[in-house]
Structure 1
Amino acid sequence: MSSEEPTRVKEIMSSPVETISRDATVSDAAAKMRDDNISALIVTTSTPSIITSTDILDAVASGTDTSELDVTELMTESVETVPPDLQIGEASAMMTNFGIKHLPVVERGDYVGMISSTDIAAQVS
C-alpha cells in the first residue's frame, strides 16, 4: 500500500470563496475579478450559480452591451459543486466531462472554496 495519499480538493482550493450579489452588474463582477485577480465569482442565489471571466468575454465578443447587464443575465445556474474531501483527479474529470474550469466547493450546504483547472494544473506539474 502506498504511503502517499491522493491530493484532496480542500488542499488546493481557493478560500474563502469570493461572491457577488445577484443584484450586481456585470461591470461590478468584472471589476471585482480584476481587483481580486480571480476568474470566477459565486453569485448569491438559492441554487449554486457562477459568473466567470469567460462568460463576460463571450458576451462582449458577441457584441452584447454589458454596461447595464445584471450578473443574473450571464451567470450559469445550477452549477456542479464538489465536497472538500474529493480527490483532485475526480474534480479534474468532472471539469473535463462538463467542459468547465471552476467548481465551487461546498460542505454542509456552505460554500467553503473554489477549485479551478489552473489550481489542478499547478498541483500536478
Structure 2
Amino acid sequence: MIELTVDAVRLHSPRTITTGTPMSEAATSLRRADVSALPVVVDGSIVGIVTQSDIVALVAETDDRPAVRMVMSSPVTTISPTATLSEAAETMRTAGVKHLPVVDDGNYCGLLSVRTLAPYLSRHRLEIKPHDESMHIDSADSHELTVGD
C-alpha cells in the first residue's frame, strides 16, 4: 500500500479569523454546512482554532459573548504537509481533535479534517475521542468561567 502525504489531498480552506473577531461573527460562519472549524490566524501563523463545539459550549455555559481569543483552542495541534495521512489520523486520535491545521514553515496552508481523511483511511483509524477537558474563559468582568468541551 502506498502511503499518501497530507499535501496529496485537497485541503479544506475555510475562511480564517483573528483573535479579535467577535464571537457572533465566528458563529455566523460556523452555521454554514461546509464549515465546522475556523482557524485563528495572526500574521500568517495559526494561533488557535474555534470549532462548532466551542460555540455550543460557550452558549450552554454562559451569556457572555467574548472575543474569539477567549474561546479558541490554543495552542493548536498542527501537521506538516509532508506528514502521511496515517500520521495525521494518529495525531488526531492522540490529541482528541477532528481538525488539523496544516502548517508549512510556520505558515497556515489549510485545514485537514476527519471528513477529508475518511476516503483514504479505514473507519477504525479515524475514531476520534475528544479529550474531556474544560475550556477556561476570562470574561470582560474579570471573573473566570469554565466551559466544558
User: Structure 1, residues 68-100: CA drift from partner, whole Å, max 9, x if none?
Assistant: 321111101111111111111111111111111
CA RMSD of aligned residues (A): 2.0
Listed one character per residue, the Cα deviations across residues 31-62 of structure 1 (whole Å, up to 9, x for unaligned) are 11224721111112466311111111122223
Alpha-carbon separation, structure 2, partners of 1:60 and 1:13:
32
Aligned to 2:82: 85
- Runs of 4+ aligned residues of structure 1 deviating over 6 Å after TM superposition are none
Number of aligned residue pairs: give it: 120
Matches within 5 A, 1:1-125: 4-35=1-32, 37-45=34-42, 48-62=47-61, 64-66=62-64, 68-124=65-121
Instruction: From the superposition, tell whether residues 27 and 111 of structure 1 become closer, same or farther in structure 2 (CA, over 3 Å).
Output: same
Q: Is the 8 A contact 1:13 1:114 kept in 2?
A: no
Q: Any stretches of 5+ residues in structure 1 without a counterpart?
A: none
Q: Is the 8 A contact 1:13 1:116 kept in 2?
A: no
Structure 2: distance between partners of 1:70 and 1:116? 24
SS in structure 2 at match of 1:122: coil
In 2: Cα distance, 1:78 partner to 1:113 partner: 17
Amino acid at match of 1:54: S
Conserved? CA contact 1:43–1:50, under 8 Å: yes
Normalised to the residue count of structure 2, the TM-score between the two structures is 0.71
The one-letter amino acid of 1:65's match is D
Q: TM-score, normalised by structure 1?
A: 0.83
Query: Which has more helix, going by share of residues?
Result: 1
Query: 5+ residue gaps in structure 2?
Result: 123-149
- Give the secondary-structure state (helix, strand or coil) at the position aligned to 2:108: strand
